[in-house]
Amino acid sequence: MKKKDEAHELNKKEISLEEFLKIYNESIPKAFCKATVPILEKFQRLNSSLFKNKDLWSIDQHRKKLIDWFFSDNHKS
């Protein structure tokens, strides 16, 4: 149970772009697009309303939206 609680807390925690990048890339399936700093910065710029604290990311809040964005054509332009 302790490990599940720790994972839950990490997912809720607000973290830096660099921490999000590391956790995201380590946890996605191999077939998914890997994130990079420029890609995350573009996502953040285009979705500024998702960021209450300008420079902080959350696995719970941003991971799914980033994956959806990757599968759309919006990240290519």
Distance, in Å, from the CA atom of 34 to the CA atom of 6, rounded to the nearest integer, reads 24
From the list 24, 34, 16, 25, the residue with the least C-alpha distance to 70 is: 34
Report the predicted TM-score, pTM, of the whole model to 2 decimal places: 0.81
What integer pLDDT is reported at residue 31 of this predicted model? 87
What integer pLDDT is reported at residue 3 of this predicted model? 64
What integer pLDDT is reported at residue 54 of this predicted model? 80
Task: Examine residue 6 and state whether it is found in any structural domain, yes or no.
Answer: no
What integer pLDDT is reported at residue 62 of this predicted model? 94
Task: Examine residue 5 and state whether it is found in any structural domain, yes or no.
Answer: no
Cα-atom radius of gyration of the chain, to the nearest Å?
Answer: 13
Task: Examine residue 2 and state whether it is found in any structural domain, yes or no.
Answer: no
8: pLDDT confidence band, cut at 50, 70 and 90?
low
Task: Examine residue 58 and state whether it is found in any structural domain, yes or no.
Answer: yes
Q: Which residues pair with 52 in a beta bridge?
A: none
Whether residue 45 contacts residue 34, with contact meaning beta carbons closer than 8 Å, is answered with no
What integer pLDDT is reported at residue 55 of this predicted model? 86
Task: Examine residue 11 and state whether it is found in any structural domain, yes or no.
Answer: no
Task: Examine residue 8 and state whether it is found in any structural domain, yes or no.
Answer: no
Distance, in Å, from the CA atom of 60 to the CA atom of 75, rounded to the nearest integer, reads 20
Which residue range(s) make up the domain with 56? 17-26+34-72
Q: Which residues pair with 15 in a beta bridge?
A: 57
Number of domains in the chain: 1
